[in-house]
Amino acid sequence: MTVTIGRRELLAALGGAAAAWPLAARAQQSARLPTIGFLGANTPSAQSQWTAAFERRLRELGWIDVIVRHGTVNVVAAKAATSVIPIVFAAVADPVGNNLVAGLARPGGNVTGLSAQIPDLAGKRLELLREIIPGLRRLAIMVNGGNPAAMQDLPEVQAIAGPFGLEVITRDVRRAEDIAPAFESLKGRVEALYVPPDPLFTTNRVRFNTLALNARLPTMHGTREQVDAGGLMSYGSNQTDLFRRAGDYVDKILRGAKPGDIPVEQPTKFDLILNLTAAKLLGLEIPPTLLARADEVIE
């Protein structure tokens, strides 16, 4: 079986997701090969490990020669573009809240996949940040207001910050050229920065974290790619595992299953990543108890 990229309308419809013609459609159009389109919101280098995991799993399941070109915004657009082509999302913040599926157990329609549980992790991320900065009182949240997933995370952080006694300052950043001015406006005003996962920040991760270090702002991120690029720490679902598991969804659909009948699954692996180099540059000492719990420590 050969699976290849094709059909311009398919590529236009898909983002951060995979889509496949079901077996029924394949039988009707025997001259055509099944098609899997895979598009994402970040640069290929930013998500290379995720797409590689997805492709490896498809190969393990017997689907070979897959060509992959690597969010919530994209899956919403895909669903709006087609109600026929099956859509599998690899990591969506809140598929029910974003009206992508009717329910987790029985999605209905043509969309299914894996939830990243982004809003549910806000409390844990703030707790971890406060372990490194026990006297934390002023927190900044930098968020892309055009991203539904980020906007779902924002109220969760704000709600939890109150009981923690944190004053919160929010900066809405929607373009790459707005990142530097946002950091400039935060200098001397806050003691840490919470960053919801967002393709804009991931694509510009090196510049983003360089600006954070220059502003002496400890950062809490949702993905390890940001910590690799100089961020202080991240806590979130293991994206590589989610993308690998997305291959199983595609396999089921290619073998005839209906997307609406395949339950949405949730993460089973969560990673805490710490950057000791960033901590030293910021003059912070990471508690030994936190280091012991980390899944990976970058030095």
pLDDT tens sequence across 38-90: 655 556 666 677 777 777 887 787 765 733 333 677 777 778 878 888 888 88
pLDDT band at 285 (very low <50, low <70, confident <90, very high): very high
> Tokens 């707005």 sit at which residue?
178
β-strand 138-143 against 192-194: which pairing, if any? parallel
Residue 197 near residue 149, CB atoms below 8 Å: yes
Q: Indicate the domain borders of the chain.
A: 8-116+239-268, 119-237+271-298
Q: For the segment 93-136, what is each residue's pLDDT rounded down to a tens digit?
A: 888 888 889 999 999 998 999 988 777 899 999 999 999 999 99
Tracing tokens 């990243």 back to the chain, one arrives at 116
What's the CATH code, domain 119-237+271-298?
Answer: 3.40.50.2300
Residues whose CB is less than 8 angstroms from the CB of residue 270 and which lie 6 or more positions away in sequence, other chains included: 121, 235, 236, 237, 238
User: Do the two domains 8-116+239-268 and 119-237+271-298 of this chain adopt the same fold?
Assistant: yes
Q: Which token pair is 247?
A: 């291959």
**CA distance linking residue 169 with residue 3, whole number of Å:** 48
- What class does CATH assign to 8-116+239-268? alpha beta
pLDDT of residue 107: 95
- Output the pTM of the full model: 0.79
